[in-house]
Structure formats: C-alpha cells, structure tokens
C-alpha cells in the first residue's frame, strides 16, 4: 500500500488545531453598554431558556458529527471507477475526515466570531433590567448622559446601578448581539443539510446553458423575406431541421423524500432561532444577523472541503500534494488542475489509478506516496 506523507498529515492536523484555537475564545467580561431605565425594549422578564447551551451543543454539534459519520460509511461512493473494497473504504474514511473537518471549522468560526462580537458590542439583552435589579431611587448618581432637564427621569446610566450580585448573570445581560444560539445552530444544521443533499444527490432541477444556443447567430433581415413558394428562408430552414428536444425532458423534480433529508436540519435551526425571541434573550436584529452568519460560515466551510452538490457526486476534494500541504505548491496544484481538465486522475493522490486498472504501477505508487 502506498505510504502517506507525514507533511500532508501535518497540514490537516494544523487545520484541526486552528479550528480548536478559534473555538477557544471563550467569554470574557463584555463591554457594558450604557442604558436607560425607561427603555421598554430591555424591560422583558428573565425566563427559563427552552434550549439551553448544553442542549444546543448536543443538537448542533454532537448530532451532526454522529450523522455525518454514519452517512459517510453507510452510503457508498458514487464513483464507478472504485472497484476494490480497499479503495472504497479508503474513500469512506476520507469522506468522514473532510465531513468532520468542515463541520468543526464551521462551528469553531461561529463560536469565535460570536464571542468576539458579543464582548466588543456589549448590547443589553431584552431582559437586562430584570437581571440588573437597578437602584431606582438613586439613578441620578449613576447617570453618564441623557436629558433629564427635557424628559423627566431620562438618564443614561452605567451598569454600576445594578444591584445584581451574580456577576456571570449580569455580564450575560450585555451579550445580546449577535445571537450565539442562532449562529451556532445554523452553522451546524445548515452544514448537515448541505452534506446530506450532496450525499443523497438532492438538487433543484435546472437547465444548463448549451453552447449551441449561446453561439447561434442572429438571422439577417433578408432571411425573413418571402421566396417564390411564399415561405421565408428562415421558415424553410426551421421546417427542414429536426425539432430540438423539449427543455422539460432535461430532468425531473426529485422525490420529496430526498427533500426531507436537508429540510429537517433547517427546521431544527429555525426552531432554535425562534426560541431566542420567545425567551426574551435577543432582539430581532441579533437573531437575523446570527442566523445569516452561521449560514454563511457553513456554506464557506462546506465548499472548502466538498465538491459542488450538483456536479460533485457527493465527493470531497482530493488530498493536498506534498508541495502544496502548507500552501507552497501553487504551481503543482495548477498543473494537477490542468491534468484534471485534460482527463487525468481526479482522485486524491492518484487513488483511482488502482480502481481503474486493478493494480498500481511503480510510477503511480511513488506519485501517490509523494502526494499523500
């Protein structure tokens, strides 16, 4: 069996380490943005969360990790060139590796950006006053702004007015923007939806652009003039040519059963996001921004390690070459892309040369050892 390059393995271990460092930015004391005691948007009661942080982690991280693992090993690769069981299992291991790497990166980036922005902005939550327990009688002593001479009692106060003794509870009251539950759930659930759609071949029907339709020349005005038989040259040409196939025969709508696979994770993310509004934990803008950020991160990390859903056959990108393991082999990477366009191998480390021919020659074996 061809050897695996330690340099390539080290590059993927570095990917995992970077993801772990991104997730390691845990909450520090956030910025306490000044507020007013007469603001109705922060006057909601402090209630029990429907989806706790522990439940969020299980649903958005642990469940997708287990599901992607099972799907990677149960669903066979849609590659007819893989004929040997050893190669099929190697492909499944690779698909498992890239699925977990992309998912963990999506979740880690979500946690990193959410915690950083929460600490920087320090926006009060809708239930801040309930957490704060302010000193109503002496609010003028804590005023740092406002217009009490214009509006009676309108003071802009600091968090020092709060009599809350639980520091963690008070700090959490200034962590409204963006919604971590929304971002984290969408980062995990939408990644899972994309993975399932790719593995089970779900895509929306579409009509690709054809070269014949795009290169057809515009008929001249003379072609529309009538000839001796009363028909124009254009009409005679259309009658003589064969009728093109109907566009509706190009494809068909996928069965709804396939639609349920990616739709279920999306519905879970929507539900988790909605609970943050009903629990009075976030303002609408916090939730929308967090959901969009999680969705964008999942799209980015999925395409970073996986082929497009419509044309990729549910596969991942091949492994890096030895020279390109740390981003230093650009010229070789371009050459390998040119080989793919010319009909060369598309499998990681030339793996499909064994699947097609049933054996690996010495050149291919050495090439595989270098690339792996």
Per-residue pLDDT of the chain (372 residues; tens, 9 = 90+): 455 667 777 777 777 676 666 555 565 778 999 999 989 999 999 999 999 999 999 999 999 999 999 999 998 887 777 778 888 888 899 899 899 989 999 999 999 899 889 999 999 999 999 999 999 888 888 988 766 555 566 788 999 999 999 999 999 999 999 999 999 999 999 999 999 999 988 777 766 665 544 444 455 554 444 555 555 555 555 555 555 566 666 567 777 777 888 999 999 999 999 999 999 999 999 999 999 999 999 999 999 998 888 777 778 887 766 666 666 555 555 555 555 444 444 344 444 434 444 444 444 343 434 444
| Three-state secondary structure call for residue 269 | helix
Q: Are 66 and 99 in contact (CB under 8 A)?
A: no
Closest by CA to 197, choosing from 287, 261, 145, is 261
The predicted structure's pLDDT at residue 206: 66
- Per DSSP, which regions of 182-252 are E strands? none
| Tokens representing residue 253 in the block | 């709508």
Q: Is the peptide bond before 120 cis (omega within 30 degrees of 0)?
A: no
- Give residue 1's pLDDT: 45
Q: Residues with Cβ < 8 Å from 176, sequence gap 6 or more?
A: 118, 123, 124, 125, 126, 281, 282, 283, 286
Contact 50, 168 (CB under 8 A): no
Q: Is 85 helix (H, G, I), strand (E, B) or coil?
A: helix
User: How many angstroms separate the CA atoms of 9 and 14, rounded?
Assistant: 9
Rounded to 10 degrees, what is the CA torsion of 56, 284, 23, 12? 90
User: What angle (nearest 5°) sits at the alpha carbon of residue 64, between those of residues 59 and 70?
Assistant: 135
Q: Which pLDDT does position 95 carry in this prediction? A: 92
State the pTM of this model: 0.76
Q: Would you state the pLDDT for residue 24?
A: 58
pLDDT of residue 203: 72
Q: What whole-number distance in Å separates Cα of residue 372 and Cα of residue 367?
A: 8
Please work out, in degrees rounded to the nearest 5, the angle formed at the alpha carbon of residue 309 by the alpha carbons of 77 and 321.
65
CA 182 to CA 281: how far, in whole Å?
Answer: 11
């Amino acid at each position: 069996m061809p050897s695996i390059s330690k340099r390539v393995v080290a590059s993927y271990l570095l990917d995992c380490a970077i993801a772990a460092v991104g997730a390691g930015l845990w909450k520090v004391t956030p910025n306490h943005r000044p507020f007013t005691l007469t603001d109705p948007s922060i006057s909601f009661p402090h209630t029990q969360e429907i989806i706790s942080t522990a439940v969020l982690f299980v649903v958005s991280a642990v469940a997708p990790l287990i599901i992607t693992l099972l799907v990677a090993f149960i669903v066979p690769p849609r590659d007819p060139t893989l004929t040997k069981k050893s190669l099929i299992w190697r492909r499944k291991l690779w698909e498992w590796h890239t699925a977990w790497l992309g998912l963990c990166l999506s979740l880690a980036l979500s946690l990193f950006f959410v915690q950083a922005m929460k600490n920087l902005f320090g926006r009060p939550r809708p239930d801040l006053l309930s957490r704060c327990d302010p000193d109503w009688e002496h609010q003028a002593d804590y005023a740092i702004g406002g217009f009490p001479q214009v509006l009676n009692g309108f003071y802009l106060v600091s968090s020092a007015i709060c009599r809350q003794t639980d520091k963690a509870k008070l700090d959490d009251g200034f962590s409204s923007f963006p919604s971590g539950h929304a971002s984290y759930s969408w980062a995990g659930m939408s990644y899972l939806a994309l993975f399932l759609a790719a593995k089970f071949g779900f895509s929306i029907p579409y009509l690709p652009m054809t070269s014949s339709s795009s290169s057809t020349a515009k008929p001249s005005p003379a072609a529309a003039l009538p000839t001796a038989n009363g028909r124009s040259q254009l009409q005679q040409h259309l009658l003589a040519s064969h009728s093109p196939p109907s566009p509706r025969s190009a494809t068909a709508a996928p069965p709804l059963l396939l639609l349920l696979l990616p739709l279920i994770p999306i519905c879970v993310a929507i539900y988790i996001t909605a609970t943050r509004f009903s629990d009075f934990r976030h303002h609408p803008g916090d939730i929308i921004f967090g959901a969009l950020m999680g969705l964008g991160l999942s799209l980015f990390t999925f395409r970073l390690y996986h082929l497009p859903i419509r044309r990729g056959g549910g596969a991942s990108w091949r492994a890096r070459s030895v020279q390109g393991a740390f981003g230093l082999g650009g010229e070789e990477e371009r050459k390998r892309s040119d080989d793919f366009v010319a009909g060369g191998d598309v499998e990681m480390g030339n793996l499909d040369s064994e699947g097609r021919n049933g054996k690996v020659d010495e050149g291919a074996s050495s090439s595989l050892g270098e690339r792996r």
